[in-house]
Structure 1
Amino acid sequence: MKYNVYTNIRKIRELKNLTREFVADELKMTASGYGKIERGDVDLTVSKLIEISKVLEVSIEFIFKFDISIFFNDKNNNEN
């Protein structure tokens, strides 16, 4: 089963209003290379995941467990 790590990295970056170019620059890589990470076109190493988590200012655990739905109201959660 493929983890949603790649998608989660992209979503977290977007929620923080960071560009691919900014993150790539912080990681000392090309925007194209970083884009391949977000698309899941390349295998992500543990060391690169650690670097990405630092740039995004979140824990690695947060990246693995991230769920975009927590930012939106679910009507079932709002019923009284």
Structure 2
Amino acid sequence: MILQTSKAQFLFEQNTQISGAVKVFSDNKEELHRLFVNSEIQDSDQSGWKYSVDSCRQELAHVLILLVKEIESTGILQSNLDFA
């Protein structure tokens, strides 16, 4: 799954080396650190992605909820009106 914010892009994949974990890739180290505070940020060998972290699914769920809470609903409403 790819997710894009105003500051970064993220790629979420199943971690094949750690059971029940996910690997999160990003092009923005600061945003990755902000969202995954307790995880060690690594340099990524994945093409197109500079950094990565290993995360459990519960932490990923928490991060996704945090991102949803950061959405400005007025900005979304304005964007939808612009398309009409």
**Given the two structures, how large is their TM-score scaled by the length of structure 1?**
0.30
More strand by share: 2
More helix by share: 1
**Taking CA–CA contacts closer than 8 Å with sequence separation of 6 or more, which of the two structures ends up with the larger relative contact order?**
1
**Given the two structures, how large is their TM-score scaled by the length of structure 2?**
0.30
